Amino acid sequence: MTPAAVMPLAVAGLAIEGAAVTLGRAELAWVLLAAPCAAIVAAWAWRRRLAAIAAWAARSLWRRLTLDVGPRRLAVSVAALALAVLAAGAALTEPRWGTVEETVEREGVDIVFVLDSSLSMAADDVKPDRMTVAQSLVRELAHRLPGHRVALVQAEGEGVVLAPLTVDSAVIDLLLDTVLPASLPTPGTLVRPALERAVALFPEADRKHRAIVLVSDGEDQSGREKDLTALVAESGAVVHAIGVGSPQGSPIRLPGSDAYKQDKEGRVVVSKLNEALLAQLAAETGGIYVRAASPGVDLAPILDAIDAMEARSIDGQVVATLAQRFQWPLAAAVLALLLHLTAAPMRAAREGGP
């Protein structure tokens, strides 16, 4: 139901004593003005009809012509018609009063974003740089996954939980701006510690509704790629991976400097996207791998895969709302219309009348 501005029902000319009444469709209150218009038109129509009858037959002859016109029945018929229109208009405005409590359940899955913030994420083989693109992708995913619980883990030489599971995706949006390349105390590129932190965030009792979205260039200095798959598979989580970068790679600009990272021999280090690690981790856990060459990459495969997961109740809230009461004026409109149809102002005259 589309929300509308709330206004007192008294504005429409109706009031219920001792009850706070609001209108769900206050913009339709003008329909109530049709009631007096209907009464005026009905009275005018009957006046013209009676005048037409009087033009060819004197009133004293009406009963002999089997025309019995009752002024009271005429008044009742016109009033019933006006009441029917008034009540129908009141029903259209959706009057509400009295509180009704209902439990609103939020269903979804638990999603942990693991964002690589190693120094290699400063490479600019994707524009403007890998970290900016990664932040943009996580922000878009969090925004397009309403109803789910989301968390954020930063990955370098260690894994740091920036946000535990929450239904408020705005928290993720706010914290993303604080993630910079090589900003953690322990430098390096180790995916396992971050995945361990991510797995630890999931509720222990539930192993079916878990998803991890790993956003990284795939560089891992541990050399223990197989351990990553075993770790995630044991937890029951599905890993979706987004590879940020290019296979050709690019030099890594040092933070706050125009110089580039060099190895021990003084050669410029070129960081390349390691798609093999990311694609394997996603494939062996039932997830999706996507290469991100720009912030505009199509994330629909990952979004569709998460939405297709079996959802569970993750949040319940008791909400008190005003009860819909349109049934009452609608019933009154039906009764008034029946009265209008049965209270015929003109009836056949009784035999033996004067």
Non-local (6+) Cβ contacts of 233 within 8 A are 284, 285
Q: Is residue 1 part of a domain?
A: no
What tens digit of pLDDT does each residue of 130-140 get?
999 999 999 99
Q: Are residues 114 and 262 in the same domain?
A: yes
Q: Stretch 201-221: mean pLDDT, rounded?
A: 86
**pLDDT band at residue 352 using 50, 70 and 90 as cut-offs:** very low
Beta bridge partners of 313: 107
Question: What single letter denotes the amino acid at residue 161?
Answer: V
CATH number of the domain residue 220 falls in: 3.40.50.410
Non-local (6+) Cβ contacts of 174 within 8 A are none
Q: Is residue 97 part of a domain?
A: yes
How far is the C-alpha of 172 from the C-alpha of 153, rounded, in Å? 10
pLDDT at position 8 is 36
Q: Are residues 188 and 118 in the same domain?
A: yes
Q: Is residue 130 part of a domain?
A: yes
DSSP strand E in the chain: where? 22-23, 68-69, 95-108, 110-116, 149-155, 159-166, 210-216, 238-244, 250-251, 270-271, 289-292, 312-324, 346-347
pLDDT of 211 over the 80 cut: yes
Q: Are residues 97 and 114 in the same domain?
A: no
pLDDT at position 138 is 96
**pLDDT band at residue 152 using 50, 70 and 90 as cut-offs:** very high
Q: Are residues 118 and 36 in the same domain?
A: no
What tens digit of pLDDT does each residue of 69-125 get?
667 777 888 888 888 888 888 888 888 877 766 655 667 889 999 999 999 999 989
Q: Is the pTM of this model over 0.85?
A: no
Count: domains in the chain = 2
Q: Is residue 4 part of a domain?
A: no
Q: Is residue 315 part of a domain?
A: no
Going by C-alpha positions, the residue among 318, 317, 310 that lies closest to residue 108 is 310
Q: Are residues 91 and 158 in the same domain?
A: no
pLDDT of 215 over the 90 cut: yes
Q: Is residue 2 part of a domain?
A: no
Going by C-alpha positions, the residue among 223, 353, 238, 243 that lies closest to residue 291 is 243
Q: Is residue 251 part of a domain?
A: yes
Of 230 and 172, the structure prediction assigns the larger pLDDT to: 172
Q: Are residues 279 and 340 in the same domain?
A: no
**pLDDT band at residue 68 using 50, 70 and 90 as cut-offs:** low
Label the pairing between strands 210-216 and 238-244: parallel
Residue numbers of the domain that contains 341: 9-101+321-347
Q: Are residues 44 and 161 in the same domain?
A: no
Q: Are residues 140 and 252 in the same domain?
A: yes
Structure token pair of residue 338: 């029946």
Q: Are residues 285 and 145 in the same domain?
A: yes
Q: Are residues 127 and 223 in the same domain?
A: yes
pLDDT at position 53 is 65
What's the mean pLDDT when you consider all of the chain? 81
Q: Is residue 83 part of a domain?
A: yes
What tens digit of pLDDT does each residue of 166-195 get?
888 899 999 999 999 988 988 888 888 999
pLDDT at position 314 is 60
Non-local (6+) Cβ contacts of 307 within 8 A are none
Of 347 and 157, the structure prediction assigns the larger pLDDT to: 157
Q: By three-state DSSP, how is residue 251 classified? A: strand
Q: Are residues 44 and 179 in the same domain?
A: no
Q: Are residues 95 and 116 in the same domain?
A: no
Label the pairing between strands 110-116 and 149-155: parallel
